[in-house]
Amino acid sequence: MYLRHTQSGDLVEVTELAELFDPCADAVRGRIHAGEELQDLATFAKTDLAFPSGEALPRCWLDRAYRANLKIA
């Protein structure tokens, strides 16, 4: 899955989707896709990632207590 690194604007290929979906994991491993050469694996904070459209990641991927923190209007 490709996400956008919000600080650099580069696309990041997330290599371990289980880390992305796990709300207890604060970071994911992936590769930046910039240039022609395959980049080395790096660790990215989930808070620094967004969908390529600019939409934020779902709260259930970031906050382990998201159900307790829901505010119903």
Q: Is residue 16 part of a domain?
A: yes
More confident residue, 66 or 2: 2
Query: What CA–CA distance (Å, rounded) separates 19 from 25?
Result: 6
pLDDT of residue 34: 82
Residue 30, domain member (yes or no) = yes
Whether residue 72 lies inside any domain: the answer is no
Residue 58 has pLDDT above 70, yes or no: yes
Residues spanned by the domain of 7:
2-62
Residue 71, pLDDT score: 66
Stronger pLDDT, 38 or 69, i.e. the higher one = 38
Q: What is the number of domains present in the chain?
A: 1
**Cα-flanking dihedrals φ and ψ of residue 11, to 5°?**
-80, 140
**Quick check: is 14 in a domain?**
yes
Q: What is the pLDDT of residue 73?
A: 55
Q: Which region holds residue 19: left if phi is over 0, alpha if psi is between -120 and 50, else beta? A: alpha
- DSSP structure class, residue 39: P
Task: Please report whether residue 8 resides in a domain.
Answer: yes
4-14 average pLDDT score: 95
Would you say residue 68 lies in a domain?
no
User: Is residue 10 predicted with pLDDT exceeding 70?
Assistant: yes
Q: Do the domain assignments include residue 18?
A: yes
